[in-house]
Amino acid sequence: MSSIFDGLSGTYPRALYQPMGFVEADFKKPFIGIVNSWSEATAGHFHLRQLAAWVKEGVIEAGGMPVEFNTIAACDGICQGKGMHSILPMRDVVAASVELMVNANQFDGLVMLCSCDKIVPGMLMAAARLNLPTLFVTGGPMDVGMLDGQELVASDVKEGMGRQRSGEITTEELRQIELAAVPSAGACNFMGTAMTMGIVAETLGFTLPGCSTLPAMSEQRREFCIESGKRIVEMEHEGFTAGEMLSKAGFYNAIRVVLALGGSSNAVLHIPAIAQEAGIAIQLQEFDSLSRETALIGKFRPAAKATVTDLHNAGGIPAVLKTLEPLLDMQLPTVSGKTIAEVAGDVKQMNRAIIHSLEEPIDVEGGIAILYGNLAPNGAVFKKSGVPESMQCFRGTARVFECEENVRDSLLSKEVKAGDVLVIRNEGPKGGPGMRELSIPAALLVGMGLSDSVAMITDGRFSGARVGRVWGISRQKHMSAVQLHWWNREIG
């Protein structure tokens, strides 16, 4: 147990905690840090203040002393364009801020509350560095929107922008989509980076079963958070630390689940970074080799009609683990105190229309492929599960753009035509800088009805949930941008 409050040296810390309502008896309890990324700058985190209150309730009930602090959080969807330069670096700032705060205060255990794209992996990186008893409570997906009897998710807004620009819908119809598609707090209800990394946290064993897909506004949230608060105190007594869940086999499990569900291509950036903090090397090629051995058993918005809520109602990640059992290491531990096999064994039923069996998969290979060639000698990340059959082989004339804004303006000006290959360069980690995500241009392409006839390539990133023929050229080991030397020629 922490010694920060003990003896003579603890006199000053005790004195400074007393004005916040803590009393002498608290200083003898397990000292639990509640790491919260609550923010009014993103809907994904807006509800985390309430979740933290429930977690603290559980910690107190179990005999712990909960102390909440915050770290930064931003929404990729909001921070497009110039703001996107700051998004990927934010992941490492989150990791460092949590690490420094925890080391400075000498917490005994941690509950990490997080939701969105860079914050979940940032906190996982911090968990690996600190190796304390650590439990995650991810915020879950927002409610599904409804308009004229049709389900909507946040990505429909971006695609609606393209539909409006192409004349398919009116400005007022786009406004109605805007008003209906994001009805509550929570992470975006599609298989983007936020939900993918929440699923990674659950697969690694850092959450209680079902946490990652449990809807943000579910009535079960309160009980779930209280149980999480109780469990972290038990973990502190047991000495069960984050490192026990961070093994090569565990990361392979997480990669296979991402591949099987058509998860975000950004997992290729984040999983190796988390593994590195645990002293484990995950190479780009390993995603490709695992994908060739892992069937695609689920497909979700925007690549299909199903939402993440549908995944939860079909049994969630425990049902996915049960389905993938022949491919996974099932004896790994989780924060629940159960092994992955035991978590999967608790599944009573699942919906095979949502979570397909290995015998009847959507595709015999997983959702991500790593491509190599003259454009990308170090590899390009390709979200295969988001590409229609007709685009599996594409040939067109390259049009080179120097930045995201140039290709966006070309799309909005309707200069892009069927058969074009849009090459957007100078958007890598160094050239961007910050390896911007080209979410809006890719969504415009879909909304304008060009996703089946136009390809996009970049040395930056596309949205991890993107559909259509898009490639992201992987970063070099020295983190400089990959230069594309494919000037106005045909691309096969």
Dump pLDDT digits (tens) for 76-107. 989 988 999 999 999 999 999 999 999 999 99
SS3 assignment, position 184: coil
Beta bridge partners of 472: 381, 458
Question: In this predicted model, what pLDDT tens digit does every residue of 27-64 receive, in sequence order?
Answer: 999 999 999 999 999 999 999 999 999 999 999 999 99
> How many percent of the chain have pLDDT more than 90?
79
Span of 94-103, 170-179, 443-452, 467-476 with lowest mean pLDDT: 467-476
How is residue 346 written in tokens?
């608790």
CA dist 32 to 60, 62, 112, 332, 352, Å?
A: 10, 11, 11, 25, 40
- pLDDT score, position 384: 86
pLDDT at 466: 54
Task: Provide the residue type at 54 as one letter.
Answer: W
**pLDDT at position 285:** 95
Asked if 110 and 33 count as a contact pair (C-beta separation under 8 A), the reply is: yes
Looking at CATH, the fold of the domain delimited by 372-491 is given as Glucose Oxidase; domain 1 (3.50.30)
Range 287-312 average pLDDT: 96
463 is catalytic: yes
pLDDT band at 393; cut points 50, 70, 90: confident
pTM of the complete model = 0.93
Q: Which residue has the higher pLDDT, 74 or 485?
A: 74
* Of the candidate ranges 85-89, 196-200, 255-259, 474-478, the one whose mean pLDDT is the lowest: 474-478
Arithmetic mean of pLDDT over the chain: 91
Domain borders along the chain are 8-143+184-345, 147-180, 372-491
Is the predicted pLDDT of residue 486 greater than 50, yes or no?
no
Are 133 and 168 contacting, i.e. CB atoms less than 8 angstroms apart? no
Q: Picking from 205-214, 244-253, 426-435, which range would have the lowest pLDDT averaged per residue?
A: 426-435
pLDDT at residue 111 is higher than 60: yes
**pLDDT over threshold 70, residue 470:** no
Mean pLDDT along residues 406-422 = 92
According to the model, what pLDDT value does residue 145 have? 97
Instruction: Provide the pLDDT confidence category of residue 447 given band limits of 50, 70 and 90.
Output: confident
Kindly report which listed range (365-369, 390-394, 425-429) carries the lowest average pLDDT score: 390-394
| Whether the predicted pLDDT of 339 surpasses 50 | yes
Q: Which of 336, 463, 474, 480 is catalytic?
A: 463
Backbone angles phi, psi at 491, to 5 degrees: -110, 130
- Position 472 scores a pLDDT of 59
Q: Is the pLDDT of residue 161 over 60?
A: yes
Mean local confidence (pLDDT), 202-213: 98
